[in-house]
Amino acid sequence: DAGVTQSPTHLIKTRGQHVTLRCSPISGHKSVSWYQQVLGQGPQFIFQYYEKEERGRGNFPDRFSARQFPNYSSELNVNALLLGDSALYLCASSLEGQGNYGYTFGSGTRLTVV
Amino acid sequence: GQNIDQPTEMTATEGAIVQINCTYQTSGFNGLFWYQQHAGEAPTFLSYNVLDGLEEKGRFSSFLSRSKGYSYLLLKELQMKDSASYLCVYNQGGKLIFGQGTELSVKP
C-alpha cells in the first residue's frame, strides 16, 4: 500500500504568487491535516479535514485555505505568497479525526518563496 | 494556553542510553506522541501514550504522567542512525501541538 503522497516535492515561487499543494492520504484514512514547518522549529498546525469537513484551523492568515475531496485527498492553497511562507509543508493522514490511531506523515513539499 | 518544553540539543555516545524529557501545559489533552525526524524528511511515529505509565517498544520507551504534564522518551543501545530530531507532540482533539524538537547527536 502507498503511504501518504504529497506533490510537488519541491517548489520555487515568487512573492505575490499563488501555490497549490496536494496530498493523498493512506487508503481508508478519512482525515487529512496540514502542517507548516519552518527550519529549526517543530511543525505548526494549519488545517484539519475529516469526512470533507473542516474540523480545525490554526493561527494562519486567510491567505491559507484548504479543502478535502470525496476521495479524501486534499489541497492546500496559499495566496499572495510572502518570503516568510518558505517552509516544509507536511500532510498527515489518520483513520479518524481524533488521532487515536496515530498519524502518518507524507514526505512534505519544500516551498521556497523568492 | 499551549506550551511544550524540551531540550534543544543533546549529545550521547553510541551504545549508551539517553532520556529526552518533555513538559507540557494544555487545557485539552488526548494523548502524547513522540516522533523522530531526520533532516529534510517527514516525522515518523515512535510512540503514543494515552494513560500514565511506561510504554516499551524495542529499544525505545516512552513515559507519561498526565498530572505532572511530563513525558520522556528513553532510547537504549544508541546507534549512529538514531541521530535525529525527536519531537514531543500532544494531541488536542485531533490537532497535534509540536514542541520545537530535541536534536540528538550520537557520537562514536
pLDDT per position as a tens digit, A84-100: 999 999 999 999 878 77
Task: Return the number of CB contacts < 8 Å for A and B.
Answer: 68
Q: Which of A8, A32, A35 is nearest to A19 (CA)?
A: A8
* B54-to-A38, A89, B98 alpha-carbon distances in Å: 32, 32, 21
Residue B83, C-alpha cell as written in the block: 541521530
Q: What pLDDT, in 10s, does the model give residues B47-81?
A: 999 999 999 999 999 999 999 999 999 999 999 99
Spans of chain A below 50 pLDDT: none
The B-side interface with A (CB below 8 A) comprises: 4, 30-31, 33, 35, 40-45, 48, 50, 87, 89, 91, 93-101
Has residue B29 got a pLDDT over 90? no
Q: Quick one: pLDDT at residue B1?
A: 41
Of B42, B94, B98, the CB nearest to A56: B94
Q: Cβ A99–B96 below 8 Å, yes or no?
A: yes
Alpha carbon of B31: minimum distance to chain A alpha carbons (Å): 8
